[in-house]
């Protein structure tokens, strides 16, 4: 994971959500972008990747598990 997590927050809030400083991430914004969750995968010890997931992916994951 990023250390500090500021790098992760900047990636998600600025690059992916394209939010300005102080702007809130809303469900409407996420719906317009077509995703509502992220997935974090461990490649190997100390190496992870993160990606956005389509709308309702989290709910589908919960129902399956």
Torsion over CA of 37, 39, 40 and 43, rounded to 10 degrees?
-160
**Domain locations in the chain as residue ranges:** 6-64
Question: pTM for the full model?
Answer: 0.69
d(CA 53, CA 65): 17
The whole-number pLDDT of residue 11 equals: 87
pLDDT at 1 over 60: no
Spell out the residues 6+ positions from residue 19 whose beta carbon is closer than 8 angstroms to its own: 13, 25, 29
- How large is the average pLDDT for residues 52-60? 94
């Amino acid at each position: 994971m990023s250390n500090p997590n500021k790098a992760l927050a900047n990636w998600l809030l600025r690059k992916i959500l394209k939010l300005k400083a102080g702007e809130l991430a809303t469900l409407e914004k996420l719906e317009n972008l077509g995703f509502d969750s992220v997935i974090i995968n461990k490649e190997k010890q100390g190496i992870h990747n993160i990606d956005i997931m389509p709308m309702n992916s989290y709910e589908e994951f919960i129902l399956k598990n």
